Amino acid sequence: MLDWAPEPSTLIAEVGLMITKDEILEAIRCLPDDATLDDALDVIFLLRSIERGRAQIEAGQGIPHDEARRRMAQWLR
């Protein structure tokens, strides 16, 4: 494990997520043959972000659709 990388169990415990090894491998298998390491990391971080969002919604921390649209309109100015 790299010195700067937190233990995977720490990341999972922090946000209450569980992305399985099989899900990660399947996502990587779907990448094109010329995919880079950055592409693979992007896919893994996308999976993590989706799981984090699902966990937040289940915990009642989501925001209504109209509020999300309002916030995005401000970001896109």
Dump pLDDT digits (tens) for 37-76: 999 999 999 999 999 989 989 999 988 999 999 999 999 9
pLDDT value for 10: 47
Dump pLDDT digits (tens) for 23-42: 999 999 999 999 999 999 99
First to last CA, the chain: 42
Do residues 51 and 18 touch, judged by C-beta distance below 8 A? yes
Which H or E run contains 31? none
The structure tokens listed for 3 are: 């010195």
Give the predicted TM-score (pTM) of the model.
0.61
The CA distance from 31 to 25, in Å, is: 10
pLDDT value for 19: 85
Contacts of 38 (CB under 8 A, 6+ apart): none
